């Protein structure tokens, strides 16, 4: 079964179904502040987080809080990103990972340079969020960069070598 088919299958299974995280907490109850309980409605679409990811501010530079990378929120969001862009690179990182923090600004600069709606997307996913992966994708350490082309996982790079990541990305873009 291809990675695309696995992602599609995961997306189908998660539709119209209440989801629980690895710790058994229902989706919608984490980080809700004053809301004590809640579930994700199957009829609610995820917020479009891609609106400004490829648009710099008017001065042509990023402001202190402008982000060009997109944070993967859940499996449905990941599937949406992978299916709506020809090439997707996902930086799987962790809050506790020092090398992840050391390369974060450079990865953000790469996102500014390469992100183009429908063509190329550089995203980030916190490994501690425990978002599902296709069966054949194995994360052995962080940071790990996952490369997807036309909805299929094609390569992974583990380690903080962004020159290798950029080289692979350019190779994919110039096929």
Model confidence pLDDT, tens digit, residues 54-67: 433 333 334 456 78
Q: Kindly report, residue by residue over 3-19, the tens digit of the pLDDT.
A: 444 444 444 444 443 43
Query: Residue 40 domain-assigned?
Result: no
Query: Residue 1 domain-assigned?
Result: no
Residues in contact with 159: Cβ distance below 8 Å, sequence separation at least 6, in sequence order: 99, 141, 143
Rg (C-alpha) for the chain, rounded Å, is 16
Query: Residue 137 domain-assigned?
Result: yes
Query: Residue 23 domain-assigned?
Result: no
Query: Residue 14 domain-assigned?
Result: no
Domain holding 159, by residue range, is 46-55+65-173
Query: Residue 30 domain-assigned?
Result: no
Distance (Å, whole) CA 38 – CA 47: 17
**In this predicted structure, what is the pLDDT of residue 76?**
92
100 classed as catalytic = yes
User: Among 6, 79, 90, 100, which one carries the catalytic annotation?
Assistant: 100
Query: Residue 38 domain-assigned?
Result: no
Query: Residue 11 domain-assigned?
Result: no
For residues 156 and 137, the answer to whether their CB atoms sit within 8 Å is: yes
Specify the pTM: 0.65
Q: Kindly report, residue by residue over 108-144, the tens digit of the pLDDT.
A: 999 999 999 999 999 999 999 999 876 678 899 999 9
Q: What angle do CA 70, 40, 69 make, to 5 degrees?
A: 0
120 classed as catalytic = no
Residue 170: which pLDDT band, with cuts at 50, 70 and 90?
very high
Give the count of domains, the chain: 1
For residues 121 and 67, the answer to whether their CB atoms sit within 8 Å is: no
Percent of the chain as helix, strand, coil, to the nearest 5: 30, 20, 50
What DSSP state is assigned to residue 56?
Answer: -
Distance (Å, whole) CA 124 – CA 101: 12
Residues in contact with 134: Cβ distance below 8 Å, sequence separation at least 6, in sequence order: 3, 6, 7, 10, 153
CATH number of the structural domain spanning residue 168: 3.40.30.10
User: Among 50, 79, 89, 97, which one carries the catalytic annotation?
Assistant: 97
């Amino acid at each position: 079964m291809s990675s695309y088919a696995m992602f599609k299958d995961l997306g189908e299974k998660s539709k119209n179904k209440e989801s629980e995280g690895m710790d058994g907490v229902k989706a919608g109850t984490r980080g809700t502040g004053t809301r004590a309980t809640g579930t994700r409605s199957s009829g609610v679409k995820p917020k479009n987080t891609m609106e400004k990811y490829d648009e710099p501010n008017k001065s042509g530079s990023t402001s202190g809080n402008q982000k060009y990378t997109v944070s993967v929120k859940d499996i449905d969001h990941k599937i949406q990103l992978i299916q709506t862009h020809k090439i997707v690179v996902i930086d799987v990182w962790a809050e506790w990972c020092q090398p992840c923090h050391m390369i974060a600004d450079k990865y953000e600069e790469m996102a500014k340079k390469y992100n183009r709606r429908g063509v190329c997307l550089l995203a980030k996913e916190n490994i501690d969020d425990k978002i599902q992966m296709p069966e054949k994708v194995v994360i052995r350490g962080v940071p790990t960069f996952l490369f997807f082309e036309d909805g299929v996982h094609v390569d992974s790079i583990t380690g903080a070598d962004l020159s290798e990541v950029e080289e692979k990305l350019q190779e994919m873009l110039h096929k």
